[in-house]
């Protein structure tokens, strides 16, 4: 299959490209810079130059393709509304090219739900505010073979430079302490990026329109365990801080860190015969590459 991948140079998209190329698919990646174009070419894919703001570049990439995977996102947390708007406009543009065809379209979203069958589109969450999922599922009603890949807030693996794990490590280094909020028994889901990439391919090849796939490796890691492994590797004290101090300590992550956001992967495993094989979050952190 010829697959157009946005975000093909990113932490997630680059392993999706590798997974697809290795499985014999032809890949065309969207690149907004010479550096990204070079990385995509080196991964064995062709390049369409453009950006999320250049909707014509998205159309031309999708027109060439038998399937589309949308991984690009402007990670500008100081203007999340603008990033979300660029995202849904890109999804609508890509979807408009695919109307009435059987060409699969995978849209990346966040988690925000316990199970695959839970609808998050009308919940007051940051994931719902991003509107990727709502926009994608509305396309299904218009005759697009669209589906949603829900990624947990922690996607981990070698080369992670700005994910939440790296941010937690950087905050611990800066403040000289690795805390958790309250008892730290609340849990976060996580996935290794190689397992996630494999699920993108299975979804592309097999999933029905309207599917919501949970790329969840660890269904729930207690945040206290995350703080402990970070403290151990950085040789820093691991302490509890009051929940109400979490935002002061962690910045925007502090609103999330005290919450239990564990999520299931049961239906995704059953429906798509996907079984995460890579190290879980704690084992991956214990390999040490996050601390070099
Ligand atoms: N990593 C995680 O922990 C995590 C967790 C949950 C959800 N997600 C979601 O997974 C998806 C992929 O994330 P990621 O971790 O791979 O992010 P990333 O490493 O920041 O990569 C983002 C990708 O989007 C591209 N991009 C950014 N702005 C663009 C623009 N204006 N026009 C065209 N391309 C643009 C980047 O291109 P350049 O290489 O040129 O910058 C890069 O290829 C996103 O939807 C993200 O929100 C990720």
The reply to whether 71 and 167 lie within a common domain is: no
Which structural domain, as residue segments, surrounds residue 224?
162-188+219-263+279-291
The pLDDT confidence band at residue 76, using thresholds 50, 70 and 90, is: confident
Structure tokens at 147: 């589906």
- pLDDT score recorded for residue 16: 98
Does residue 110 fall inside a structural domain?
A: yes
Burial class (CB in 10 A: 0-12, 13-18, 19+), 121: middle
- Specify the DSSP element, H or E, that contains 115: none
Burial class (CB in 10 A: 0-12, 13-18, 19+), 35: exposed
| Closest atom of ligand 1 to CA, residue 132 | 45
User: Rg of the chain's alpha carbons, rounded to an integer?
Assistant: 19
The reply to whether 36 and 99 lie within a common domain is: yes
Closest-CA residue, ligand 1 atom 5, reads 153
Does residue 196 fall inside a structural domain?
A: no
Does residue 198 fall inside a structural domain?
A: no
The reply to whether 179 and 116 lie within a common domain is: no
Residue 116 has pLDDT above 90, yes or no: yes
The reply to whether 132 and 17 lie within a common domain is: yes
The mean per-residue pLDDT over the stretch 240-269 comes to 94
Indicate the SS3 state at residue 26. strand
Rounded to the nearest angstrom, the gap between the alpha carbon of residue 138 and the centroid of all alpha carbons in its chain is: 20
Does residue 179 fall inside a structural domain?
A: yes
The reply to whether 135 and 179 lie within a common domain is: no
Closest-CA residue, ligand 1 atom 20, reads 10
Residue with the two structure tokens 């790296």:
166
Express each pLDDT in 133-142 by its tens digit: 999 999 999 9
Express each pLDDT in 146-181 by its tens digit: 999 999 999 999 999 999 999 999 999 999 999 999
Q: Ligand 1 pocket by C-beta < 6 Å: which residues?
A: 7-13, 30, 32-33, 36, 51-53, 71-75, 108, 110, 151, 153-155, 163-164
Q: How large a percentage of the chain has pLDDT more than 90?
A: 90
Does residue 227 fall inside a structural domain?
A: yes
| Closest atom of ligand 1 to CA, residue 72 | 24
The reply to whether 27 and 131 lie within a common domain is: yes
Structure tokens at 19: 């997974």
Does residue 194 fall inside a structural domain?
A: no
Which phi and psi angles does 212 have, rounded to 5°? -120, 110
CATH assignment of the domain containing 235: 3.90.25
The reply to whether 92 and 184 lie within a common domain is: no
Q: Which of 104, 129, 150 is the last residue of a domain?
A: 150
The reply to whether 114 and 178 lie within a common domain is: no
Structure tokens at 107: 């849209």
The reply to whether 19 and 109 lie within a common domain is: yes
| Closest atom of ligand 1 to CA, residue 154 | 3
Q: How far apart are CA 190 and CA 240, in angstroms?
A: 22
Does residue 193 fall inside a structural domain?
A: no
Q: Which of 92, 125, 150 is the last residue of a domain?
A: 150
Q: Look up the pTM and report it.
A: 0.97
The reply to whether 169 and 57 lie within a common domain is: no
Q: How far apart are CA 225 and CA 173, in angstroms?
A: 17
Residue with the two structure tokens 């601390």:
291
Which of 71, 162, 169, 216, when mutated, tests ligand 1's pocket best, judged by the most ligand atoms within 8 Å of its CB?
Answer: 71
The reply to whether 14 and 104 lie within a common domain is: yes
Residue 129 has pLDDT above 80, yes or no: no
Of 64 and 290, the structure prediction assigns the larger pLDDT to: 290
CATH assignment of the domain containing 120: 3.40.50.720
The pLDDT confidence band at residue 241, using thresholds 50, 70 and 90, is: very high
Tally the domains of the chain: 2
DSSP 235-290: T--EEEE-GGGHHHHHGGGGGTTTS------HHHHHHH-----S--HHHHHHTSGG
Q: How far apart are CA 141 and CA 161, in angstroms?
A: 37
Compute the distance from residue 74 Cα to the ligand 1 centre, in Å. 6
Does residue 202 fall inside a structural domain?
A: no
* Terminal-residue alpha carbon distance, the chain: 38
The mean per-residue pLDDT over the stretch 121-140 comes to 84
Closest-CA residue, ligand 1 atom 24, reads 72
CB 69 within 8 A of CB 29: no
The reply to whether 92 and 224 lie within a common domain is: no
Q: How far apart are CA 92 and CA 186, in angstroms?
A: 36
The pLDDT confidence band at residue 127, using thresholds 50, 70 and 90, is: confident
**Half-sphere exposure in the Cβ direction for 110 (13 Å, CA):** 21
């Amino acid at each position: 299959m010829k697959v157009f991948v946005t975000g093909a140079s990113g932490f997630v998209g680059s392993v999706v490209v590798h997974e697809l190329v290795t499985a014999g698919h032809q890949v065309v990646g969207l690149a907004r810079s010479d550096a990204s174009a070079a990385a995509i070419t080196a991964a064995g894919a062709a390049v369409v130059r453009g950006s999320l703001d250049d909707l014509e570049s998205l159309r031309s990439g999708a027109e060439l393709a038998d399937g589309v995977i949308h991984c690009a996102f402007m990670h500008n947390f100081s203007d999340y509304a603008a990033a979300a708007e660029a995202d849904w406009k890109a999804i609508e543009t890509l979807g408009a090219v695919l109307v009435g065809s059987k060409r699969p379209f995978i849209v990346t979203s966040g988690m925000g739900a316990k199970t695959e069958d839970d609808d998050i589109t009308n919940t007051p969450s940051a994931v719902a505010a991003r509107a990727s999922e709502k926009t994608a599922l509305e396309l299904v009603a218009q005759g697009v073979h669209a589906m949603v890949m829900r990624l947990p807030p922690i996607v981990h693996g070698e080369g992670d430079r700005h994910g939440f794990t790296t941010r937690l490590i950087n905050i611990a280094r800066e403040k000289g302490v690795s805390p958790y909020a309250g008892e730290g028994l609340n849990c976060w889901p996580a996935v290794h990026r190689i397992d996630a990439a494999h699920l993108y391919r299975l979804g592309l090849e097999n999933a029905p329109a309207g599917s919501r796939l949970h790329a969840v490796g660890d269904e729930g890691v207690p945040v206290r365990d995350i703080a402990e492994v970070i403290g151990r590797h950085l040789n820093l004290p691991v302490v509890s801080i009051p929940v109400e101090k979490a935002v002061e300590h962690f910045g925007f992550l502090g609103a999330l860190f005290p919450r239990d956001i564990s999520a299931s992967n049961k239906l995704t495993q059953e429906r798509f015969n996907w079984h995460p094989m890579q190290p879980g979050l704690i084992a991956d952190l214990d390999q040490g590459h996050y601390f070099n």
